[in-house]
Amino acid sequence: MNIRHIVLLAAGILALTTAKALELARIESPGGRLRFVLLAADTTGEGSPLLYSVLSGNDTVVEPSALNLRFDDRNGTGSWKAIPNIGKIELSAIALHDTVWRPPYGEQAEYRDRYNQFRVSFPESDVRLCVRAYDEGIAFRYEMPAEDLILKIGGELTEFNFPDSTKGWVNTHPQAVCERRTLEKLQTELPLTTELPNGLYAAVLEAGLTNYARGRLRAEDKAGKLRLVLDSPVVTGSPARSPWRVVMIARRPAELLQNNGIVLNLNEPCALASTD
């Protein structure tokens, strides 16, 4: 696979001091419907140096939101950002994947798995970011490819920032009745379905959860600003990877249900070859 380097030169560093974020890279879905944009943040504060946004055509779905993990010392004496800074990144070539597979059972006889993908590696970090852009949604996860490390992931700094007047169907605990409300001062289970002020619908969910803590979403005083919260720290050997963080996007609520094959595509294949 060809590797190209993106170097933030002096002009880029200057731009960081005068703007909130600088675009590093972007990837579009195969049909051009959705875009994921990777951004470098102004890191004068305590936040993550890495941000992302998601767009559908000219409409913003997810406003600039943090991407990062928090590693904890196994002795409990300290913590640090998994991606501490952005000076030079390695960006893989964008690869198109397009296959059709048949499940041993399910709603459909076959599913199409079609997406564009790239991986981003960072200096001074054992973590890389994998991003897939489907026409049905955007998915990303953190990967730790190094061998024979013992990692303690204390939490994620992952955010999903929607426009402040976005409404969501919130459920505060499993099997609770969903309540439609603004996204502030709450904690909700995944998946979370939202209705944006521009008329789009988006669902935040996770897929491919194996040997990892499940996540919930929490919002404080700022409406629409959601942060992923893990149920517990994760202690794991490497290589390792987080679940997929997924944002499905549709013009109508029914399309979210119709496009639920994206969840199957992001999970590992069924271990059963047949149910006969």
What pLDDT is attached to residue 210? Answer: 94
Q: How far apart are CA 104 and CA 160, in angstroms?
A: 34
What pLDDT is attached to residue 43? Answer: 62
Q: How far apart are CA 171 and CA 192, in angstroms?
A: 8
Q: Is the dihedral of CA 224, 191, 20, 221 positive or negative?
A: positive
**At 18, phi and psi to the nearest 5?**
-115, -5
What pLDDT is attached to residue 41? Answer: 87
Q: What is the DSSP letter of 158?
A: -
Give 123-169 pLDDT, tens digit per residue.
889 899 999 999 999 999 999 999 998 999 999 999 999 999 999 99
Residue 224 makes CB contacts below 8 A (sequence gap 6+) with 63, 161, 162, 163, 164, 165, 166, 182, 183, 184
Assess contact for 6 and 24: CB atoms under 8 A. yes
